[in-house]
Amino acid sequence: MLTAYSVGCIPFGLLISKAISGIDPRREGSGNMGATNVLRVAGKTPAIITLVCDILKGMFPVLLAQFFGLDQQSILFVGFSAILGHLFPVFLMFQGGKGVAVSLGVFLWVAPKIALIAVVIWLCGIAIGKYSSIGALASFGALPFLALMFNRTPEFILFSFLVSSLVYFRHKDNIIRLMSGEEKPSRLL
């Protein structure tokens, strides 16, 4: 779990933006290090690399946990640790990202069908609502229901609910901006 948390702490959006464009995404746009803000402030290439790296930092720890033969519940703890590392990285004074891509990486490995449906919901949310935050909120709002619908274990349903709650918590500023009409529209990668 400590290794997963440490992997989750790697601020790919910050590192990639600074390396490619010299821009610190924490100081521009929404101030977030995720792919959407990196796209906004640093461009398409850094955003795509950030998205892929953030997905992989969620996927890699659970893949490793599975490789070492951990049971499903332990794998969920490992995945949750990677997500917590991304949200609350020790290297950045616990001010991390919103958890969408890293959570997607975890779900792609532990429940690929649910993850792919969540991606479709996210894309539809962006296409209809024109905001990445609406897509993220729609897909993560659906996550616990998808876990129930696909008859997963109680542990997995609880895991889905906790991850969903954390993503909503990290999007609280987006929710406020959406309600006040101040959220910035997003373009797809």
Give the Cα separation of 139 and 157 in Å (integer).
15
For residue 50, being part of any structural domain is answered with yes
User: Which range marks the domain in which residue 169 is found?
Assistant: 2-180
Q: Is residue 188's pLDDT more than 60?
A: no
The encoded tokens of residue 94 equal: 């616990």
Asked, for residue 157, whether it belongs to a domain, the answer is: yes
Q: Is 187 a residue whose pLDDT tops 80?
A: no
Q: Report, as an integer, the average pLDDT of 149-162.
A: 91
Residue 116 counted as domain residue? yes
Is position 189 within any domain? Answer: no
Over residues 63-69, mean pLDDT:
95
The mean pLDDT value for 166-185 works out to 85
Residue 161 falls in which region: left (phi positive, over 0), alpha (psi -120 to 50) or beta: alpha
CB of 58 closer than 8 Å to CB of 86: yes
pLDDT band at 129 (very low <50, low <70, confident <90, very high): confident
d(C-alpha 16, C-alpha 102), whole Å: 16
What is the distance, to the nearest Å, from the Cα of residue 162 to the centroid of all Cα atoms in its chain? 13
pLDDT at 59 (0 to 100): 97
Cα separation, 92 vs 186, in Å, equals 26
Rounded Cα distance, 56 and 141, in Å: 22
Residue 52 phi, psi (nearest 5): -65, -45
Quote the tokens at residue 9: 């702490």
Percent pLDDT > 90 in the chain is: 70
* Region of poorest pLDDT, from 66-75, 81-90, 172-181: 172-181
Q: Structurally, how many domains does the chain consist of?
A: 1
Give the C-alpha separation, 24 to 15, whole Å: 8
pLDDT (mean) for 117-130: 90
pLDDT at 189: 46
Using alpha carbons, select from 139, 138, 143, 125 the residue that is nearest to residue 185: 125
- Within-domain flag for 188: no
What is the rounded average pLDDT for all residues in the chain?
A: 91
Least confident stretch, 8-17, 82-91, 167-176: 167-176
The total of other beta-carbon atoms located within 10 Å of residue 61's CB is 29
